[in-house]
Amino acid sequence: MKLFNEPSPLETKIISFRFGLENSASIDTYLANDGYKALRKALEMTPDDIINEVKASNLRGRGGAGFPTGMKWSFVPRASEKPKYIVVNADESEPGTCKDRLLIQHDPHQLIEGCLLGALAVGAKKGWIYIRGEYNYLIHIMDKAIAEAYNNGYLGKNICGSNFEFDLYTHTGAGAYECGEESALLESLEGKRGVPRIRPPFPAVSGAFQSPTLLNNVETFSSVPAILRMGGQAYADLGVPKSGGTRLVCMSGHVNKPGVYEVPLGFPLMKFVNEIGGGVWKGRALKAIIPGGSSSPLLKAEECDIPMDYDSIAKAGSMLGSGGLMVMDETTDMVKVALRIMRFYQHESCGWCIPCREGTTWLKKMLQRVSDGHGQTRDIDLIGDLAQNMMGRTFCPLGDAAAMPTIAIVKKYRNEFEEYVARNPFASPELVSIA
Amino acid sequence: MTFSPELEAKFADLVTHYPEGRQRAALIPMLMFGQEEVGSITPEFMEEVGKRLGLNTMQVDEVVGYYSMLHKKAMGKYHVQVCTNVACLLRGGAELYDHACHKLGLGHKEVSADGLISLEEVECMGACSWAPAVQVNYDFHHEVTTDQLDTILEGLKK
Amino acid sequence: MALVNVTINGVQVQAENGALLIEVAKQNGIEIPAFCYYEGMSLQAACRMCLVEVEKAPKLMAGCTLPVAEGMVVRTESEPVVKARKTTLEFLLSNHPLDCPVCDKGGECELQDMTFKYGVGESRFTEIKQHVPEKQWSPVVFYDAPRCILCYRCVRVCNEGMGVGALGISYRGVNAEIIPSNGDHLECDECGSCIDICPVGSLTSGIYRYKTRPWEMEHVGTVCTHCSNGCKTTLGVRNNEIVRGNNRDKSGINGEFLCVKGRYAFDFTQHPERLQTPLIRNAAGELEEASWSRALKLVAEKFKELAGPDFGVIGSTRTTNEESYLLQKFARTALGTASIDHHRTGDVVTLIDALSGKTGQLATTEELYTTKAVLVVASDLSQQQPLLANKIRANVRHHKAAVYAVTPGPVREDKIARKSIRVPEADSLAGVEQLREQLSKESELVIVFGDAIQGDKVRQLVAFGESLGIPVKYIALVDYANSRGALDMGVLPDLGPGYHATAPGRSLQQMLDDPKLAALWVVGANPLKGGKSLASTNAFVVVQDLFLTETAQRADVVLPAASAYEKNGTVTNVCGQVQRLKRGIETVGSKADLAIIGLLARGMGVNLGKVDADAIFAEIAASVPGYNQLPMPVILTGGAVQTHPVNGGVPPSSVPGIIASARDTLFTTGSLTRYSKILNEVLEKPGALYS
Ligand SMILES: Cc1cc2nc3c(=O)[nH]c(=O)nc-3n(C[C@H](O)[C@H](O)[C@H](O)COP(=O)(O)O)c2cc1C
Ligand code: SF4
Ligand code: FES
């Protein structure tokens, strides 16, 4: 399948190097390009050895939370009587994120191999790839790859002539951002409403069908074959301390060359935008960047001179999250951005808990009103305050995801809200208390 | 209600994917695949799927109501979905959606009188780097301009 | 379990490791507010009212799901906690209609209480609220989605508590709402538990809504008059009218539970056909209204004239113990007859005999909740013994009790049973035998059995139980509110109070069949129901009842009686637990049976001593074995006490086949329920959840 954007010479292609090869999704192409080598290697290793390699790689979860993957793998109780499962999070719904789609589209066998390595590490015999409903075409690609893997002895019984067995299936979602949250995903996988579970227990201990489950993002699993091939340390060395390797960053918004590019962790953010992305479009100036999907607080242009790794971005007050990097030029209307973000979270709130369900709804209504030109000065403070009141109080992180960007936008671009309010002929400056 | 042979086969295969006794897991895929065939999630379809998975209609209803891609009301033969989420918004997604509304004379989740086309303003669909994006049924269209949208829509009417 | 030290608000307390913080706090007198947390039901952590500050935790934690651990330091009233609580309430109220002035729940609403206690006084919300119209799901259940705070209590009580699962949740986010079992309506037990448990006025009762304000009612705690389970129900009385039944203080043996009858079926008291004046058959053969004094005089004279062995007396399964006691005393002494009986629905007599020489083997309702294993034989509990069924379900939920069912048809217990055996009723014992191996591995057992087990079969069942080698207790099921009391009080042709043998007389059927019967006095019973007739065409028949039943239509004199909701006294439930009835209302024209008996005695010149409920109960307590050691304070304050069954052989009483349960459903328990308009409306709805 043709590439959606041209690769950049500045990329470090570790997991995307097969993208663009002829028939890249086929097992033949895969086998001709290091495919299933890591699996053969891993079959000679003990589960602990595999996990130690992953730990050494400093790989951190690519789904959003950035949890150290090796550590997560070591949490699965291998001695448990229950069956263990692999679940791949291919729900990819965080606005700004479109990388897992490419990993499945161009290199499904890499993901299968990643799953097999996870299965070897934790003793799983079954796994599911939970693919968001909108990615229907990927299910066909994935199913085809899975069938090829079965036919070539990479899935099913006696994999590669060993006594290792593993079955892998695709499973479709049906339109719900919340199902990207791991425990809601598991509920959905079980045929229920995608409402998150009370944790603990975490999926590693009680996940799919109440059994120990290794749940990772597509990119996380897809990174493991390379780690085993090149060795954990070599992979880690590509990145920075505590954030090993490379990751796919999805650049969108006001840049000349938007696209998905693979760069090492710690790659300078501005260099990424200017050199890989060709800079802000239409010769305009940069206003702000959302570095890791719509949940991550946006960074003002002057805050963007930082390396792209988990810790550096956290230090700047945001998150690397899912790698959804959105660039905004000087003309961007921040009130509209805040409203659109809140509309999204309001639409996607599962409704389970009060602060998120009511908070997102209230905020959406207020932002809509301000954006429609009916705002009051006190609304600006109230928006910030309500978002703050959601923070850390919801049942799952969706509430925080809605609150964080809102707080940041109101704080950093208060003047724009004030301008909207100033345009309201009925704006009254002070609050009249009727109490 | 009876399933087509294809759906029947799909169902038979699907239930083998999940651990014994946990066949309910097949519910959402079944609803998605069935909706494609039936056109919408009808009460008969819900009842039939429920019966096969040991669920009552209310239990199926709980799930159907939750997911935004499951429609109890039939959408058009071509369901045009325009993303207006941030990445698309930054590159004209909202204007594109407005354009579609005017062009089709339809609003959010409305269906043309002949049942051919329906329109929906959707959330991020994973095409951010190639925004603005439109999906017609499951087909993606990237970096869509208003002109291109016109061409796409014209193509549907043929 | 190990104890750990936890500090709550600066006070060090000890608690079981892993116990939920919200419970630990409660045990130590600290309230952590919550909407979704509900003791005994699954955890949700959805409302976020219970957030508390825990040292070393990065953010506030939900107290409802937080297991305590050694050294945990918690603050439940610190500034961040108080602020979080206020804002949660603010969020909750943002979309709430705030129609408290007209809301049924006003005054009893947890949201009001929480706002009063923890909320802020003014609202910052100025947007337009989300509105959806109210829906009616059944004659008795209405749902107002805007008032709903989505605490999921109703969903859980229906599914976990009732075992019905008729409520679900659909849509998502702010549109999420509760949905009923069948699209736009409910098919369920109509028990109304969802209404009761709703912390706000989202679920309201079809018969109570918009009728009154809670503070305008008098709340009278009494015992439901329908089935034998004896649930405590609190009548909401206004202007001498019962407007509501619920289990307001949850202090009865039924705790949270009440079925459709306990909650709604009090409306028979106001039925237009209710008798309000005595009737006397005139020369033309028609029943004609008459004054109480004329009717009583006539009856007393006739009774005096006809007294003797051919006088028949049929007592009630619903009158109080005092009334049953007085009736049999009057019959045996003043009327000089041994022919007294009532409609017997379960073989308690043989059970007591079979257990003679043993103590403590009659189970209480509570023991169905605490005993590790329960065997149900030949009964559809959820239809006929709803409280017992509920206790068993709770036992499974909370203690993982093992349930076994041997029944002729599907029963709700099948869903929770370790094993269900389907055999015709006649083969019940063979079915039970199949479980021998499994049952003998249990550590203790309660056996609950229906009327298919009577006579020798009771002895065989007890022999089986005793042979298991584990402690076994029994419950012989009976049908009506005071069926058990009628037995205990000796409303039997061969057994007096406390199952003492007396000179034998006619059984109920024998009275009906005897052409020589001179008189028949029927107190609160309808033996001629279903087209039966009286063989003795000349018999002088007196009937005391609420309605002109089939039997009353045959009477020469009909005396309008008061219902259980209109009198004081005691009743004994299926497990032998004695509870007190409290008068809620008075119905003009009717008299309590106790008073009628007293007046007749006086008219005949018979001295029965002081005829008032307390005095007679004292007499029962002094003279009836089983009732002689009951701790009165417990009963007087609304508690329940199990009688001590007689210990010693009881002469066999029953002729086989004489005992017959009515095989009622959840919506019917004898004649009274026929006159409940609301039950009949609910009944019209097709019910698919009966098993
Ligand atoms: C609201 C919400 C949405 C999420 N959506 C996704 C998603 O679409 N894809 C994903 O991989 N992880 C998503 N996550 C993160 C997952 O919960 C989980 O952390 C991740 O899948 C674990 O995999 P990783 O360790 O490989 O990142 C989401 C989390 C939240 C709270
Ligand atoms: S924060 Fe609460 S309502 Fe929002 S998605 Fe999570 S659980 Fe659902
Ligand atoms: S009681 Fe804890 S969240 Fe509701």
CATH of segment(s) A246-329: 3.10.20.600
How many whole angstroms from A396 Cα to the centroid of ligand 2? Answer: 5
* CA–CA distance, C416 with C401 (Å, rounded to integer): 9
User: What angle in degrees, to the nearest 10, is found between the helix axes of A414-422 and A398-412?
Assistant: 70
**pLDDT over 70 (residue C655):** no
**pLDDT over 50 (residue C688):** no
How many whole angstroms from A353 Cα to the centroid of ligand 2? Answer: 5
Tell me if A58 sits within 8 A of A243, measured CB to CB.
Answer: yes
Which pLDDT value is given to residue C652?
Answer: 66
Task: List the beta bridge partners of residue A126.
Answer: A85, A167
Q: A137 and B138 in contact by Cβ < 8 A?
A: yes
- Confirm or reject CATH 3.50.50.60 for domain A334-422, answering yes or no: no
* CA–CA distance, C406 with C376 (Å, rounded to integer): 6
Q: A134 and B18 in contact by Cβ < 8 A?
A: no
Q: Is the dihedral of CA C462, C465, C470, C472 positive or negative?
A: negative
Tell me if A104 sits within 8 A of A225, measured CB to CB.
Answer: no
- Residue B143: exposed, middle, or buried by beta-carbon count in 10 A (0-12, 13-18, 19+)? middle
Tell me if C338 sits within 8 A of C504, measured CB to CB.
Answer: yes
pLDDT digits (tens, 9 = 90+) for C20-46: 999 999 999 999 999 999 999 999 999
Q: C182 and B59 in contact by Cβ < 8 A?
A: no
Helices of type H across C287-401 = 292-306, 321-329, 348-354, 365-370, 381-384, 386-399
* A192 CB-near residues (< 8 Å, 6+ apart): B24, B62, B63
**pLDDT over 80 (residue C581):** yes
Q: Which residue has the tokens 């909407």?
A: C35
Query: Which two structure tokens, joined as six digits, stand for B97?
Result: 């959606």
Q: What share of chain B is helix, strand, coil (3-state, %, to 5)?
A: 50, 15, 35
> What's the pTM value of the predicted model, to 2 decimals?
0.93
**pLDDT over 70 (residue C654):** no
**Residue-wise DSSP of C598-641:** HHHHHHHT------SHHHHHHHHHHHSTTSTT--HHHHHTT--E
How many whole angstroms from A401 Cα to the centroid of ligand 2? Answer: 10
| Number of helices and strands in chain B (H, E) | 7, 5
Task: List the beta bridge partners of residue A339.
Answer: none
Return the closest-CA partner of residue B21 out of B54, B51, B68: B54
Which pLDDT value is given to residue C687?
Answer: 41
Query: Which two structure tokens, joined as six digits, stand for C294?
Result: 């004329």
Choose, out of A139, A252, A289, the residue to mutate when testing the contact with B (most B CBs < 10 Å). Answer: A252
Which CATH superfamily groups domain A27-238? NADH-ubiquinone oxidoreductase 51kDa subunit (3.40.50.11540)
Backbone angles phi, psi at C12, to 5 degrees: -85, 130
For residue A37, is it left (φ>0), alpha (ψ between -120 and 50) or beta? alpha
pLDDT digits (tens, 9 = 90+) for C394-431: 999 999 999 999 999 999 999 999 999 999 999 999 99
Q: Is the dihedral of CA C485, C489, C493, C496 positive or negative?
A: positive
pLDDT digits (tens, 9 = 90+) for C584-602: 999 889 999 999 999 999 9
For chain C, give the percent of residues with pLDDT over 70.
Answer: 97
Which pLDDT value is given to residue A435?
Answer: 52
Query: Which two structure tokens, joined as six digits, stand for A216?
Result: 């990772």
Strands C287-289 and C311-314: unpaired
Residue type, C179: I
Backbone angles phi, psi at C227, to 5 degrees: -100, 180
* CA–CA distance, C246 with C234 (Å, rounded to integer): 5
Comparing CB atoms, the residue among A133, A189, A324 nearest residue B32 is: A133
Q: Give the residue, by CA position, lying nearest to ligand 2 atom 6.
A: A396
Q: Which residues line ligand 1 (CB under 6 A)?
A: A 61-65, 67, 89, 91-94, 178, 180-182, 215-217, 220, 396-398, 401
Fold of B5-64: Arc Repressor Mutant, subunit A (1.10.10)
Residue type, A355: P
What is the mean pLDDT of the segment spanning A58-76?
97
Tell me if C31 sits within 8 A of C138, measured CB to CB.
Answer: no
Residue span(s) of chain B under CATH 3.40.30.10 come to 78-154
Helices of type H across C175-246 = 193-197
pLDDT digits (tens, 9 = 90+) for A89-141: 999 999 999 999 999 999 999 999 999 999 999 999 999 999 999 999 999 99
CA of B51, closest CA in chain A: separation in Å? 14
CATH of segment(s) C348-477: 3.40.228.10
Residues 474-513 of C with CB under 8 A from A: none
**pLDDT over 90 (residue C629):** no
- Confirm or reject CATH 3.40.640.10 for domain C279-342+485-674, answering yes or no: no
Tell me if C158 sits within 8 A of B58, measured CB to CB.
Answer: no
Tell me if C185 sits within 8 A of C685, measured CB to CB.
Answer: yes
Q: Where does the pLDDT of residue A430 fall: very low under 50, low under 70, confident under 90, or very high at 90 and above?
A: low
pLDDT digits (tens, 9 = 90+) for A220-231: 999 999 999 999
CATH architecture of C104-270: 2-Layer Sandwich (3.30)
Of all residues in chain C, the one with the smallest CA distance to A376 is C126
* CA–CA distance, A355 with A328 (Å, rounded to integer): 30
* CA–CA distance, C179 with C170 (Å, rounded to integer): 6
CA distances from A66 to A34, A217, A309, A323 (A): 27, 10, 10, 11
- Residue C516: exposed, middle, or buried by beta-carbon count in 10 A (0-12, 13-18, 19+)? exposed
- Tell me how crowded residue A17 is: count the other CB atoms within 10 A of its CB: 18
pLDDT digits (tens, 9 = 90+) for C244-270: 998 888 889 999 899 999 999 999 999
pLDDT in tens, chain B (158 residues): 899 999 999 999 999 999 999 999 999 999 999 999 999 999 999 999 999 999 999 999 999 999 999 999 999 999 999 999 999 999 999 999 999 999 999 999 999 999 999 999 999 999 999 999 999 999 999 999 999 999 999 999 87
How many whole angstroms from A129 Cα to the centroid of ligand 1? Answer: 13
Q: Is C172 an interface residue toward A (CB < 8 Å)?
A: yes
CA distances from C667 to C263, C383, C384, C385, C674 (A): 12, 8, 9, 12, 9
Q: Which residues line ligand 2 (CB under 6 A)?
A: A 178, 196, 349-353, 356-357, 394-396, 398-399
* CA–CA distance, A356 with A345 (Å, rounded to integer): 9
Query: Which two structure tokens, joined as six digits, stand for C180?
Result: 């009923």
Q: Which residue has the tokens 């200017």?
A: A274
Tell me if C388 sits within 8 A of C418, measured CB to CB.
Answer: no
pLDDT digits (tens, 9 = 90+) for C60-111: 999 999 999 999 999 999 999 999 999 999 999 999 999 999 999 999 999 9
SS3 state at C397:
helix
Which CATH superfamily groups domain B78-154? Glutaredoxin (3.40.30.10)
* CA–CA distance, A320 with A264 (Å, rounded to integer): 13
Report ipTM (2 d.p.): 0.93
Q: Is A177 an interface residue toward B (CB < 8 Å)?
A: yes
Q: How many Cβ contacts (< 8 angstroms) between chains A and B?
A: 149
- Tell me how crowded residue C10 is: count the other CB atoms within 10 A of its CB: 8
| Cis amide linkage into residue B132, ω under 30° from 0 | yes
SS3 state at C458:
helix
pLDDT digits (tens, 9 = 90+) for A283-331: 999 999 999 999 999 999 999 999 999 999 999 999 999 999 999 999 9
Mean pLDDT (chain C) is 93
Which pLDDT value is given to residue C682?
Answer: 81
Which pLDDT value is given to residue B106?
Answer: 97
Residues 25-44 of B with CB under 8 A from C: 43
C314 pocket-lining for ligand 3 (C-beta < 6 Å): no
Return the closest-CA partner of residue A147 out of B31, B33, B13: B13
| Number of helices and strands in chain C (H, E) | 23, 30
Query: Which two structure tokens, joined as six digits, stand for A51?
Result: 């996990």
Choose, out of B46, B55, B58, the residue to mutate when testing the contact with C (most C CBs < 10 Å). Answer: B58
Query: Which two structure tokens, joined as six digits, stand for C322?
Result: 């005092």
Query: Which two structure tokens, joined as six digits, stand for C490?
Result: 């000796």
What is the mean pLDDT of the segment spanning C137-144?
95
pLDDT digits (tens, 9 = 90+) for C298-333: 999 999 999 999 999 999 999 999 999 999 999 999
Domain ranges of chain A: 27-238, 246-329, 334-422
CATH of segment(s) C3-92: 3.10.20.740
Tell me if A288 sits within 8 A of A298, measured CB to CB.
Answer: yes
* CA–CA distance, C115 with B64 (Å, rounded to integer): 35
Domain ranges of chain C: 3-92, 104-270, 279-342+485-674, 348-477
CA angle A90, A95, A101 (to 5 degrees): 35
* CA–CA distance, C667 with C673 (Å, rounded to integer): 7
- Name the helix (H) or strand (E) containing C280: strand C279-281
